[in-house]
Structure formats: structure tokens, C-alpha cells
Amino acid sequence: MRNYIAVVFDNSSKAYEALHALWQLDHEDEITVHGTAVVHRDNLGQFQVDTKETHPALATAVGVGIGALLGALAGPAGAAIGAGGGAAAGAAAGGVSGLVADAARSDARHQAGAETGFVLGDGQSALIADVSEDWTTPIDDKMRSLGGTVYRRARSAVEGDVWYDEGYYPYGYYLYPYEYVPPYARYYDY
């Protein structure tokens, strides 16, 4: 079964440890990982998605996609605004260009923060992933051992949401299809 998961941790180093552990489960053939990203919410409630430095248009697209995914994981109320609010959530990624895009959408950021707050609290980090799993035990056990809380939603359920826009690529396409750790990741903790 193909699922979207969000695993919430109290700090970013644990989220990166979980990122590696998830890809290791893939390597052991326990699950298949289609894409991953690490997101943070600082103590002021602002989101950041760890991405490569990239073109501003791509940064915004990633923000919209991952923001929509965060909204979908948050449930109906979150998903209704996730795509719009997500532009800010992800546009804060990595580069200066992203921060400009973020500033232009500060109203949407506030809204996204309110709607997805129960998934990712202030000061927390989360591993977001698109996975195929025959059973949930491998991920649940591994993430629990790392201190994470797993939220899970079937991809088919997300695509069945009335607000799901088929004009988008599948939300998971905005996640990295390999284990990406930004060079600056070791320099911060939330």
C-alpha cells in the first residue's frame, strides 16, 4: 500500500537520523521509499523545507507541493488550504530566492501554520515521506525507537479528497527521490 507519512521529532538531528533510517529500510527491502523531505517549524511558527538551492519557480513549486501534502496529512481542514499556504511553507527552503517568495506570501504562511499545527508543533521537525509498505510495523517500530510520532495517510485517500487538484503533480513528486541532506543541516537545530 502506498502511503504518505509524517514523522514528528522534537529536534532536527533526530529527523535526519530518521531520514537515514527510512532509506536504510528501503535498502533492506522492508519498504520502498518514493520520496522524502525534512521540514521544520521554528519557535515563531514559520515553516522551512530543506531543499537544494534552486530556481525560484522551482522553490515555489516545491513549497506548494509539500505544503499541500502537509495539509493533506493534517486532515480535511488542513488540506483545504494546504496548497495555497504551502507556497510559503516550502518557498522558505534553502536559498535567498525562496525567502523572497516566502515574504511575498506571509499571509498564506500564517494560515498554513494554523492549519497544520497539530502535525508539526513550534520548534519541531518532521520527516515527510511517500512510501510503499506491505505492513506498517517496520516504519512504526524504527521511528518509535528514534522518538518519533508517525502520522500516516493512504495516497489513494489523499487523491480522493474533494479538493485534490489533478492539475498538480502528485504531491509526492515534490519530495526528493533519494536521501538528500543539505550541507547546512548539521549547523542548526530547532
Partner 1 sequence: MGRHESIKLKDSTKIKDALDQAREAAQELHGRISDAAAKRGGAAKADLESISQKAKATVESVKASMGAQHEATKKHLTDAVTNLEAAHKHAAEGLKSSGQAFETKIRQTLADARAGVDEISEAIAAKRSAQSKKK
The three-state secondary structure class of 49 is strand
Residue 81: how many other CB atoms lie within 10 Å: 20
Based on CB atoms, which residue is closest to partner 1, 178 or 187?
A: 178
How near is the Cβ of 95 to partner 1 at its closest, in Å? 8
How near is the Cβ of 114 to partner 1 at its closest, in Å? 30
Based on CB atoms, which residue is closest to partner 1, 2 or 152?
A: 2
Cell numbers found for residue 18: 530518521
How near is the Cβ of 176 to partner 1 at its closest, in Å? 8
How far, in Å, CA of 88 to CA of 78, rounded? Answer: 14
How far, in Å, CA of 170 to CA of 71, rounded? Answer: 14
**Residues at the site binding partner 1, with contacts judged by CB under 8 A:** 2, 20, 23-24, 27, 29, 32-35, 52-55, 57-58, 95, 132, 134, 169-170, 172-173, 177-183
Based on CB atoms, which residue is closest to partner 1, 102 or 115?
A: 102
Angle at 2 between CA 151 and CA 141, to 5 degrees: 45
Contact 2, 136 (CB under 8 A): no
How near is the Cβ of 52 to partner 1 at its closest, in Å? 6
